[in-house]
Amino acid sequence: MPADRLLASLLRSFQNVHSPSETSRLTLSNSLFFNSASLLATLSNPLNITLLTSQILTSTALWDHPDGLRVCHRVLGIFQSASLAILQDQETRPSGRQQRQRLDRTEWVKAVVKGADERSPRWKHLLPIAGLLLGFEGQGHRGLSEGVRRDLESALVLATNLAVEQVGRREDGLDGFCIALVLNYSFELLSDRRKRDLHYEDKSTTFFFLQRLSSRPLIASMGPFSRLVAHSVQSVRDPFLLHRLVDNIALFARTLTTQWRQNKLSEIDPSESSIYLDDQAMRFTIPLLWKVLRSAMFASVAILRAVMGRILLDRSLAADGSAPILASNVLHSLRNFYFITSNLGPNAFTTHNFVLLTAVDVLTTYPSHATSFIREIQPHSLGRIPRHPLDRTLDLFFLNTAEHFTFALSPQVNEEVLIAAVSPYLAGGHHKNLLEMFEAAHSVFLSVMKAPGNAELAGRVIPFYVDAVFKVCDP
């Protein structure tokens, strides 16, 4: 069937809202998605391409029964699939084979973008633009000229900024969810310059949520609440309840760190915040976020302080079957809170230091538990400095903590874990952003050398240490 007749048939189907059953509606919907992607890739008339794009974004058959984000995902897939089809058709066509008449790729892209017009809301405009980027430039493809890709990136950022201004007009929130979906898939394809052009004002939904959260009675009175819990810790008689409390705090801290890693802010080194964040973010939005995080951390550590006090005074909690387990979980919690604590500066939080050193003192009296803990928190890639700022922060906690464990560890563990962990940071001390890591690694190395039984190890590794230090200190 000629393309014009296929297009006319598809456009009539777009207006079909009289589906007798849910099954037939789904069948029609699946057919429309497949046929749209297939036809879009074969059309050669730019006016028809623009018309089809516009109809996809306004079709009652597709949008009158939206299945949440599923319909957005599938519409995005139409344009991605069509772009891939065009790209793969030219890559796989045998040389010498006569090429059928096809619109120039740049003109095809322009025709699709023109279909994102005033007949559809701005949040839907992100779908064809992002679909083109994902199809032609995703997964390592280089299907567009530098100029066309740059124009598409600019168009996506502009469409996003305009769409964000209108978010909230739908009761189901699909507009905001669609924007998040598109950016989730396409963000890595944007250049750093375009990423900075994304406008995220302090009147955003997320910022209002943080404002409401920080003003809630429980959050606002977190200090008194933590003191109430700490009093309960000092008074409770059932050790099982304390174990559950520590387990729950450890789970909360671990969840917080996992969620922080999924946040793009975690990819910014604290020393480079002013480079990647604008003045408004640095003065208003980011401080509020850290205020909420610090409140949660302060309260949790205050409760853990009471737990460590009970371990020191209570025979049942100080028993061999209880004390090392509690101390290990407390240290795991402090590690997962460290992305917050480290922003306060060294020794800025005395309660944290007390809890840390007390837990270390308890755990180092149990060498097997101490060894297990050190292996659990060792850097994921020994011998290499991680690229992610959060991983470097966790490495810093490891170095600052491991310094106190060297006497409780065997020479083998000291070499396999501690020396291996400090080596890249000793060699990288000339980098300004790694100076704190270098100093921590320096302290760990000296602590290992002082530990009994490490004389043979010292003879083998001190030459490397001296060489690394002189390279860093050499002007």
Reply yes or no on whether the pLDDT at 471 is more than 80.
Answer: no
C-alpha 25/C-alpha 42 separation (Å) is: 26
The pTM for the full model equals 0.66
- Three-class DSSP labels, the chain: CCHHHHHHHHHHHHCCCCCCCHHHHHHHHHHHHHHHHHHHHHCCCHHHHHHHHHHHHHCHHHHCCCCCHHHHHHHHHHHHHHHHHHHHHHHHCCCCCCCCCCCCHHHHHHHHHHCCCCCCCHHHHHHHHHHHHHHHHHHHCCCCCHHHHHHHHHHHHHHHHHHHHCCCCCCCCHHHHHHHHHHHHHHHHCCHHHHHHCCCCCCCHHHHHHHHHHHCHHHHCHHHHHHHHHHHHHHCCCHHHHHHHHHHHHHHHHHHHHHHHHCHHHHCCHHHHHHHCCHHHHHHHHHHHHHHHHHHHHHHHHHHHHHHHHHHHCCCCCCCCCHHHHHHHHHHHHHHCHHHHHHHCCCCCHHHHHHHHHHHHHHCCCHHHHHHHHHHHCCCCCCCCCCCHHHHHHHHHHHHHHCCCHHHCCHHHHHHHHHHHHHHHHHCCCCHHHHHHHHHHHHHHHHHHHCCCCHHHHHHHHHHHHHHHHHHHCC
C-alpha 251/C-alpha 382 separation (Å) is: 25
| Token pair belonging to 252 | 């909360």
Share of the chain above pLDDT 90, in %: 51
Mean pLDDT throughout 80-94? 80
Mean pLDDT throughout 451-471? 81
C-alpha 468/C-alpha 439 separation (Å) is: 12
Place of tokens 């124009």: 151
**Per-residue pLDDT at 17:** 54
Report the chain's C-alpha Rg in angstroms.
29
Which residues lie below 8 Å from residue 57, measured CB to CB, with a gap of 6+? 75, 115, 116, 119, 120, 124, 125, 127, 128
Share of the chain above pLDDT 70, in %: 89
Q: Distance of alpha carbon 59 from its chain centroid, rounded?
A: 35
**Least confident window among 13-22, 178-187, 309-318:** 13-22
C-alpha 242/C-alpha 5 separation (Å) is: 73
Chain segment 147-174, per-residue pLDDT in tens: 999 999 999 999 999 998 888 778 788 8
Closest CA to 400 of 434, 369, 364, 443: 443
Closest CA to 234 of 183, 287, 302: 302
| Token pair belonging to 4 | 């014009």
| Token pair belonging to 121 | 């809301």
Cα-Cα end-to-end distance for the chain: 77
The answer to whether the CB of 472 falls within 8 A of the CB of 430 is yes
| Token pair belonging to 273 | 């915040």
| Token pair belonging to 300 | 């949790």
Reply yes or no on whether the pLDDT at 408 is more than 70.
Answer: yes
**pLDDT confidence band for 16 (50 / 70 / 90):** low
Length of the chain measured in residues: 475
Chain segment 367-388, per-residue pLDDT in tens: 999 999 999 999 988 889 999 9
